Structure 1
Amino acid sequence: MKKKCLRVSFLLLLILTMLRIPAHAATIPYFTYSTDKSSVARGELIKLQINAGQVADTAAGFRMRVRYNTDTLSFVRTETSSQIKSGTMVTNSTSNPICSVYVCNVDQGFAPLLSGNIISFVFQVKDHASAGGTVINAHIDEVCNYAAKQLDVDIEENLTVAVEPPEEVPSDEACLSLLEPYSGVLTPEFSPDVYQYRMRVDYPVESVEFYARAEEGGSVKINRKSLFNPGTDTPIVTTVTSADKSNQVQYVVLVSRSERPAAAAGLASKPPLPGGQTAAAGKSGSTHTELTGKETAAGKSGGEQNFSADEHGKEPEQAAQTAARTDVNPGYGERNIYIIGNQMPVYLVGMLIAALCIMLGIVLCFYLKIKPKS
């Protein structure tokens, strides 16, 4: 059994040694490209960055070409890191593509190590550039090492940069594009250049509302929606403020509320008169008077008067004579005030009774005090 286990272990070891698992080391590129921004606004700067990788056989010279859209971008300058010594790179910026040639300083006896961001091509977005993506083409070739050996390096890439749409400048226009009542009709018909309107509504309408929309992002404010009493006009003011807050205009709608009809006025209650009587206004200013010993009420038009006997059996003729002694003083609108003659106010009667009781009490006090003992 022990020998069998050893054989199995030997076979497994042999199989593992025969298997070859290839391992590929990650290839480090000589150069890569990037931009410092993914989107840019008009007038802003954007950089195309050339990045070098740390490789064993570093590049001692190369040619760099950059192509761009001249309708969108304008070339500003190149920026180099300290690894690119002064005088080792020459750039032709007047052409498109821009062409730059780098040759290291041969006096050192070796090519300096290049890594990270070594060159940046700076562009500016033009003021009239169209919104959307613009492409920058980057291409490096003709790469050689310090021994002047041509390296198999040819890297080209298109980089897209988004040009943002211009910011909208707030408008200074203060104007309505629409003013429409939820119910009713404006006179005249709405126009942005007309600022005064009229509108009529029936007397039951107590409030009106409007739909208003401003031009160019302006704001709208309506001062009220409730109406004054029937028979009056209510000015409703719509104030429009421009988007930049610099200007204001006002649209005024004068809402006329019709008067309450006489048939709808009804009978209005009146305050009680002395002696338990009540006066009420009649229709259209006419007077209908009914005396029952308890109340006086306003009646029908034409000034006619109807009388009935009171609860004590007073004849209509006697009631008419009593009414003839009544002075009528019409008030404002539909309210009348009646002063009934030959009647003492209730509060005076109460005061007289109270005074009588007091006097009677005083007399009793004196009488009891001076009464002789029996």
Structure 2
Amino acid sequence: MKKQDLRAFLLLLLLPVILRIPAHAATVPYFTYSVDKSSAARGELVKLQINAGQVPDTAAGFRMRIGYHAEALSFVRTETSSQIKSGTMVTNSVSNPICSVYVCNVDQGAAPQLSGNIISFVFQVRDGASSGDTAINAHIDEVCNYAAKQLDVDIEENLTVSIEPPEEEPSDEAALSRLDPYNGELVPGFSPDVYQYRMSVGYTVESVEFYARAEEGGTVKINRKSLFKPGTDTPIVATVTSADKTNQVQYVVLVSRAEKPAGSAGLSSDPPRSGEKASGPEKTDAGKAQLPEKETEEMAAQGEDDFSAAAEAENPAQPQAVQTAAQPYANTGYGGRNIYIIGNQMPVYVNGMLTAALCILLGIALSLYLKIKPRE
């Protein structure tokens, strides 16, 4: 056999298969089924959905039968799209399987085109349903067109919904499983059944914190972490609430803060208490700090004339304008010139001038001495 004849023979064998593939793929089913969720918890709703395909010879009437396990599901209602007009579908919801019959409105002269989700059967998972899969059986038959011609449509399918296991009920237990201070040690050691503790810390510790964990999903709230002053006790309360919010217990830790040592009293930076005087120089009636007695004696030793201004500044008998001045001043009275001493101190330039004058006078006195001294 020639190669060309062989290829022609194989093509003839494959031609029916090739022609059947597109014909099969183009076929649109009249109806399909689906569920809106694959699993559901007790008390949740599950919908069995009837979906219609767009076909040339649309269905004008059909019968639906929906079977289910009554131990796991209870029927609630049917839901229809706007394509199913009011009064065109009748349902017997008492029976199991549920039976519904649809007949289109014949006044329109043609059956309405059905497509998409047209009908839903709504079920609810019973509270006492067992965990695991439960089946819903959907079956449509007795399908006819608008001309009352029976169509060869009979579609049945079992769909599965998984019932989830029940969630654990929240616990009513209120207790701590751990209570650990970050600094210090509980006395006695922690136990969930012991609700009173003591703890001692140094006087420098101003606050304490705890790691706390509740049993069975409960919650913990600690009222404070700051401590009272040294030498006092501070109660710290951990309140535990059960997961179901029905019970509460309290664990109390009495924290004893040590007293401050006597030697550290002078180092305290705390502000003075009411009635106590702050340390530092005493104030005069005019608001000026008085000089210590030692400094006053040293100034007096330098001469009455040089520090007369300081004496006048401290005298309350002076005029008010002098008492409130920032720095008092005074007249030294050397010759006809006034030299002002600012702040009870001799200015540097005045010291220089006096030193120079003293040197000049010393030179003049030395020269006069040498002239009048008799020669030997």
TM-score by length of 1: 0.53
3-state secondary structure, aligned to 1:24: helix
Contact 2:59 2:143 in 1 (8 A): yes
| Mapping 1:348-367, distance limit 5 Å | 348-359=293-304, 361=306
Question: C-alpha deviations, 1:135-154, integer Å up to 9, x for none?
Answer: 32212234455676654433
Question: C-alpha deviations, 1:243-301, integer Å up to 9, x for none?
Answer: 688987543211345679xxxx8988989xxxxxxxxxxxxxxxxxxxxxxxxxxxxxx
Instruction: Report the counterpart of residue 187 of structure 2 in structure 1.
Output: 186
Instruction: Report the counterpart of residue 77 of structure 1 in structure 2.
Output: 77
Instruction: Report the counterpart of residue 334 of structure 1 in structure 2.
Output: none
Contact 1:174 1:249 in 2 (8 A): yes
| TM-aligned CA distance change 1:105 to 1:240, over 3 Å | closer
Unaligned residue ranges in structure 2 (runs of 5+): 1-7, 268-290, 309-331, 337-376
State the 1:170 CA deviation: 7.8
How many residue pairs get aligned? The number is 276
| TM-aligned CA distance change 1:87 to 1:259, over 3 Å | closer
3-state secondary structure, aligned to 1:211: strand
3-state secondary structure, aligned to 2:296: helix
Q: How far apart, CA to CA, are the structure 2 residues paired with 1:270 and 1:86?
A: 95
Give the AA of the match of 1:24. Answer: P
State the 1:50 CA deviation: 1.4
Is 1:24–2:22 an aligned residue pair?
yes
Q: How far apart, CA to CA, are the structure 1 residues paired with 2:264 and 2:54?
A: 103
| TM-aligned CA distance change 1:163 to 1:102, over 3 Å | same
Instruction: Report the counterpart of residue 33 of structure 1 in structure 2.
Output: 33
Contact 1:60 1:145 in 2 (8 A): yes
Give the alignment's Cα RMSD to 1 decimal.
5.1
Between structures 1 and 2, the one with greater helix share: 2
| Mapping 1:1-374, distance limit 5 Å | 22=19, 24-25=22-23, 26-37=26-37, 43-81=43-81, 84=84, 89-102=89-102, 113-129=113-129, 134-145=134-145, 151-161=151-161, 175-181=175-181, 184-187=185-188, 189-192=190-193, 194-200=194-200, 209-215=209-215, 216-221=217-222, 223-224=224-225, 229=230, 233-240=233-240, 250-256=250-256, 347-359=292-304, 361=306
Contact 1:172 1:243 in 2 (8 A): yes
Instruction: Report the counterpart of residue 372 of structure 2 in structure 1.
Output: none
State the 1:29 CA deviation: 0.3
Question: C-alpha deviations, 1:149-171, integer Å up to 9, x for none?
Answer: 65443322233445577789988
Instruction: Report the counterpart of residue 357 of structure 2 in structure 1.
Output: none
| TM-aligned CA distance change 1:146 to 1:114, over 3 Å | same
TM-score by length of 2: 0.53
Give the AA of the match of 1:68. Answer: Y
Q: How far apart, CA to CA, are the structure 2 residues paired with 1:362 and 1:212?
A: 72
**Worse-matched range after superposition: 214-223 or 169-178:** 169-178
Contact 1:228 1:234 in 2 (8 A): no
Contact 1:138 1:156 in 2 (8 A): yes
Instruction: Report the counterpart of residue 332 of structure 1 in structure 2.
Output: none
3-state secondary structure, aligned to 1:353: helix
